Every structure is written in C-alpha cells, then in structure tokens.
Amino acid sequence: MTKATTSAAKAAKAAKATKATKAIIDEQVAGDEPAPLERYNAKRNFSITAEPAGVVPRHRAKAKGALQFVIQKHWASHLHYDFRLELGGVMVSWAVPKGPSYDPAIKRMAIHVEDHPISYNTFEGEIPKGQYGAGTVIIWDRGTWEPVGDPGEGLAKGKLIFKMHGEKLAGLWELVRIGKPGDKKPPWLLLKKRDAWARPLADYDVITALPDSVVATPLGLIEERDPRAAPVTTATASDTAQPDLANAKKAALPLTLAPQLATLASAPADAGWLAESKYDGYRILARISKGKAQLFTRNGNDWTAKLRSVASAVEALGIDTAWLDGEIVVMNDRDVPDFNALQNAIDNSGSESIVYYVFDVPHLGRQDLRAVPFDSRRKVLQALLEDRASERVRLSRTFDAPASRLLAAACQIGLEGVMLKRADAPYASGRTQTWLKLKCQHRQEFVVVGFTDRTNASGEVGNLTLGYHDHGVLKHAGAVGTGWSSSAGREMHTLLKQLEVKTPTVDPSAAKPGRWSKRSAGAQRWVKPEMVVEVAFAEWTPDGSVRHATFRGVRSDKPASSIVREDATAVSPTPETSNTTNATKSATSTKGAKTANGAKGSGASKGGAAVSVKVSHPERVIDKSTGITKVELVRYYESIAQWMLPHLKDRPVSLVRAPQGVEGQLFFQKHSEAKMPGMTELDAALWPGHDALLAVNSGQALVNAAQFNTIEFHTWNSKSDRINLPDRVIFDLDPGEGVSWAHVQEAAVLTKDFLEQLGLQAWLKTSGGKGLHVVVPLAPKLEYDAVKAFSQAVVQHMAKVIPSRFVAKSGGANRVGKIFIDYLRNGHGQTTAAAFSARARPGLGVSMPVSWEQLPELKGGAQWTIATAREYLTFQKSDPWADYWKSRQTLTKAIRLLNAT
C-alpha cells in the first residue's frame, strides 16, 4: 500500500469518526494533518493570516498534565466569545455570542464549531479582511479545566460537566446540547452550576467587569486572589447533568390540582429567576390519565367540552399520565396574543386557532414533582415536549436576558408583560412570591356592580361600574366606558339586565353616573356582583378609582368572589443577592496597570482606588428605546473610569441628572446641594459670587454620580489650579436640520485643515449626539475672553469663506442645511460633554475620542453607546489621543495669522 493510499485511508476513517463528537477521544489517527483539523485548515490561508496551522501531535489522546482551556474574545462581523476546551489533542470549540455568566439562571447560547489546534491558545491579533473570521482576537481568559465524569461520553450525549480554574472563571460549569448531533453547527447552552462561585447577574457581570485581555493585563488565578474562593463542591455527571429530582414523590395522579398564582411586582426581581412571556389568555391545567386529557380553568371548571380541539392536541402528545400547566391564547397577525380573539374562539368553530403554551409539569407518570425546583421541572418538561410539541401545544420559552430589558421589549411589541419564576422554588398552589408578574400597564379583573345605557342606544352598555373585594367588602373602583364593539355592548346589556337589582352593592355616593364616558346616558343601574371583566388602565386615583380605563374582555374563568385589588409588591432580594457594584469583590479595581488596559487609556491614571457603590433601583429602565437599566449605566462608568478620569480630574463639572430616565425631566447640577460621596468640592473663591464647584477626581466619585442618576458629565476648559486660563479650545460641529452626516465629516476635515494653516494641531471625538468635537489643547497662557475671541474669529472666517456649509450664528433657524461651529463653549463657566460621557438621549450615545484616520469610517456622532463603547476600547491597539496630553500649543502665532487673513 502506498503512502498516499495510507494517508487517504486514515483521512477517510477520521472523517467518518467526526460525525459523532465522541471521535475526539476515540481512536486517534497519527499523522501531521488528521481529519479533526481538516475543517479548520480548509477555512484559512496561512500565507495571509497569522493564525497557527492545524497540526495535531502524535499520541494526542494521552496528553500529560492538566487540560487547558482558553476563551478568546473575537470581534468579527459580530462580537462573540470562542470557548475552547483541550481534549484529544485539539481544542473543542464553541462560539458563545454573549459570553459566560456566573448566574446559574442565565443560559448562554453556544454554537459548536470546528476543532482548533492547541497552538491557537496563544493567538492574539488581527485576522485580515477576506479571511475566515476576519477581525480582532484577544485572549479573554485562560487556565485549566477538569471534566466531571467521562468527557467523551458527555460530548457524545450532549451533556458535559466540568470545573474551570482560570483568571476570570472558576467553579463548576455545564455545556448542554439542545440541537441534534448531526446538525451542521449544533447549538448548545453554556451555564454555571450552583456552587460557591455562582453569583446573580444583578450583583456581578463578569463580561462587563473584566472585558480585556489577560495577556495585556494578567490577573492571576481567580482562586488565588478572590477572598470568596472556596473548594468546588464535588459533583458527578449523574447528579449535576440531570434534573434534580431528589424531592420527587411517588404518588397517584391527583383528581384535582389548584394552580400556583403569581404576585404582581413593582419591579424586576433580583437574579436567580427564569423569565417567560406573560400571555394574554386563559390559564388552563391539563390532566392526562391513560392518554385522555381533561382541561380545567384556574378555578377548577372543566372546559374540556369548550376546548375539544385543544384537548385532542394535548392527547396527541402521546403522554400517558400527567398534569400540565399553561395558558391558552390566540395569536394575531403580529404573532402577539389577542385576548378578544381568544374569547371569540372559545365555544365555536374558531377554537382551532387556540394555542396551548405549557410552562410547567407538576406531575408526571407516578411522580409528584411539585416539591422539585422549578428549573428542574423545566428540564423535565423540555425533555417531555422535545419531540412531541406541535403548532397547537407549545413549550413556553424562557429568556436569557435581564428582566427589565425583557419587560421593555415585551411592552414594545405589545405583550402583556413578563413572568419571573424562582429557579429553585417548588410548585405551590395559591398566590406566592416565587412567581412574579411584571405588567406593561395596570391591568386586572373587576366585578361589574352596575352599568348605564348608551346614549341613543338603550340596548347597549354605555359604561360599566366596577368594584373589587377588600376583606369581604365590595368597594367601588370607578368605571370603564370604552373598549367594546356595539355587538359586545348589546350582549353585555342583555346579560346585565338579568342581574339587575334596585339596591347598589357598593356605596352609591362614590359612583357619579355619566362622568366616565360620552357613551353613557347617565341613568345608573345596579346589578348583582357576578360578572367579571378585565380592564387596562393608566393608574389608581387617590380615591381608589381607575383612570383612563379600557375594557379588555369578560372573564368567565374567574369567580367574582376572588376579585381583589392588585397592588404591586416590592419583592425582597434573596439573601445571597445584592445589587452592589463592587470592584474589590469582583476584581474590577481601577488600580493603574492592574486595571484592564489601563496603560492604553487616554492618559490613564496609574493611581486610583477600588470602586464600590450600592445601586438603588438597579432595574429601573433609563432608556425605553433600548431597555438599558440604571445598573448598566453605573457599570459602564465603573468600567470606563481609567479612560475618563484624565478628562475630568480637577476640572469643574456640571452633571446632567435624569431621575426619570432620558424621557423624563433633566436638570444640571454644578454645586454641592445634593451630597454625593467621593465628589471633590473646589474652593469657593475660584468663582466669586457662586457656591463651590464640583470636580470628579476618582472612580468612586464617578460611579457615585451615576448612582445619583447622572448621565452626562460636562467640564470646563480649565483646571482648578489655573481656573481663568483655559488649556483647550473646543469647536463643536452642530449640524442643522437637513445636514447629512457626510457634510459633518467634511466640516471636520475643513476645520482641521484651517487650524493646521494656523499652526495648530487638533484632535477629534464624537459628540455622542449628532455632531463632532474638534479639540485643540493649549498651554494655559491666555484668559477666557481671548480664547473665546479667537474661536469666534475662526468660526466667522469659516462661515465667510464657505457660506454654503457654515454659519456663524446660533439658533435652529439660522443653521437649516448648514453647520454652526459652536464657539460659545469656550467662554468662562461654559462646559462641553467630556470624553467618554454618555448623552441623555435615546440610545445613550457616548462621546468617543477617535483618530482622524477613523473619520471616514464613522457612521454618526452616536456611533458608540454605553452598550458598545467599552467593548470597542477593548480592541483598540493604541490611544488616538496619546499625544494630546503632551501638546503645549499657544495661540500667539495663530491669532497673528488669523488677523492677517
């Protein structure tokens, strides 16, 4: 047999073996380029890319020493994290778009990709354009790993449990395959197991806290530096990979089952919860006995006959014995639940459009699962429906996103809200605080206690008088007069006439006929409190009535006696949960070179102290357009401190605070009327006639200001030691209505060129809004009046020479189709948004220092936001403003040349 024939035979054998993941540790084929790395090599041109070629060493299955892992942060077409585990002489690899999380409730998607060579573990750098994966790669974490159980068997079965010993990651982790083994890129989930290292996302986000390369900024093993370090609990594949069924009890199928009910919550809860959509439908529990299904409402009413087609769809699952819990809905053309359509579908031929979303399995077979933790019941349910779910019976999804952001998205697309369920809690009948409901608007059921006739249509309802029970007493809750059609109004009128009584069941003095709707004829009529309706409304008035109410439908699945006022409950965090952003605990210290990429920051300080702040209302959404929360803003400023502080230190600052978010009222704070820990109060003599100014001189002050709802940081052009002598002049390119971004870019180049003619170097940054800032550093020699006069003369010259592009007068009417170069910011006491400051407007753009070479590639003045700015800086190889801090320019020559033009 020839050498070529032998190689071909080996390659064919290896290629066949790679169809199953188990081949990685099974029979290994010796040679320089065996099949496991053929896909890797085929995708790359090693004469162009600096990536190492895929060569697998002989006897790789018997590698000595600890197994390596590496996580490479890869900014290609999209940012993702390449998660690689050494096994069988290669690095088995997954692409994790959102990166790992220490929160066991967070399940990250992981796409199984081609194996990589072990030599790839040291690769950092740029993959050239045109090559596979073109973009920047850094080593985000590295270390060793230990499999729990047989790793080959775990990979083959799609459940791999392992311990990590890295610079950022530690403890017990799991990879679970959710796709089929034969898929081209089978999807998996990466999740943290519950152990001493587990931490709720609200407390610690390792991706945000530690975004940079461990090569540029070595951290050392986390187990050696973290005071929380504790031995990882010994686990086996059998007791960690599978659902925890220790609390399951052998029991016969119950005849009845009271459902678990959720508590209305005022805000998203702490971490440790699973999030689901809140469906706008009817709660239905399905009892399956010997393959036959019965459907019950939350009140125990048998609706099998009403929902015969749904029952048939449940029976088609092929389950012999179970209780399933879920919600029936009808989806509209936007794939959003439609409550009115559901009501119309029940009891008629339209029931074929009803979908049953299943979210729990309290009982299965001969096992009572109610005492089993919810996340384990979810695993059982997912396995049960994996190959059985249909268009009519679907598994309700859980979402890998912060509850606040999920709630914002749900509201935006028209859903009712979000459900949060405690991952470690049992199934408990009745209302609990381990299931929470977060609603997009106030919405609940009311008892109808009266009605009026519609004006000019006595056979229709004009409005409905509402009530609810309070400790056995029926209380008035206002009225609703809109939200139903004429046919629905006639139908309700017929039903309510049959319930009519002469004596009101609530205090009649609270009801003022005709005040809620022009549809009302004003004659109040009273009824027995038996009909239940669902109503959406803006808020409760001080006297206990609903305001701006809209009828949503009649609820025939709930008894009137159960209707009470639902007030949002503030749910206390679980003991292990905290909303403290703490750099000491989470290794995000801003201590000079130990800080990630500290040496690369714009004049990054070598000093500074660890940042720690308790974030109040961390879940509050501060930008509805993105769903960004307050804690995310605080984390941004914590992570950006070493870059931003040189632009803030010793400069008087004006803070733009937004207690109600960017859509609410904003206000400036220049003085110390609201005490903020860590803030420096400057000598009051610096600005006679004014209170003491403030300066942000530490990371602690920066983060505390964010905790006090500060979004923007605006600074003077001078420092406190020479308060009247500015050390920079700023030209703010402010485009008027109708100005294209290309013209803004052109204006920046023209401004730079003219300044260079005057002998001045200028630096560039985005404004975070619509425009750009051209910044000229100065030696502090001239006072404000002279510097402002110079900047005004530059702007007037530009407007005179190129009047089609520039205007020298402020005001929107003056700059339509033109750019006003704002020189007014160079006056005494005037301020400009600092570099790296967020902007209090939708999107939360960031003012970012950039190089002039980057200008043609910029897409807008808000190209970076607090969600993307820190990641962008992670991949910056050099500081575009490095020479800014060394410049000592004066205006003497520039003023002389300008006067001569």
Helix (H, G, I), strand (E, B) or coil at 570: coil
pLDDT at 573: 44
CB 351, CB 310: distance < 8 Å: yes
Beta bridge partners of 463: 452
Q: Distance between CA 661 and CA 840 in Å, rounded? A: 8
pLDDT recorded at residue 830: 95
pTM of the model as a whole: 0.55
Two tokens, residue 650? 């010793």
Active site residues: 278
Low-confidence ranges of the chain (pLDDT < 70): 1-35, 56-65, 180-184, 226-241, 266-271, 333-335, 347-350, 400-402, 404-405, 408-409, 412-414, 508-522, 568-612, 673-675
User: The tokens 């929107």 sit on which residue?
Assistant: 812
Angstrom distance (rounded) from CA 159 to CA 176: 5
Q: How many CB atoms lie within 10 A of CB 174?
A: 22
In eight-state DSSP terms, residue 484 is -
Instruction: Provide the pLDDT for residue 469.
Output: 93
Domains and CATH numbers, the chain: 3-240 (no CATH), 249-439 (3.30.470.30), 445-562 (2.40.50.140), 580-715 (3.90.920.10), 728-835+881-900 (3.90.920.10)
Q: How many Å apart are CA 206 and CA 202, to the nearest integer? A: 11
Task: Please tell me the total number of residues recorded for the chain in this structure.
Answer: 901
Residue 784's H or E segment, with its range, is helix 784-801
Question: How far, in Å, CA of 133 to CA of 78, rounded?
Answer: 10
pLDDT reported for residue 556? 82
pLDDT at residue 334, rounded to an integer = 63
Residue 398's pLDDT is 81
Q: Which residues are bridge partners to 300 per DSSP? A: none
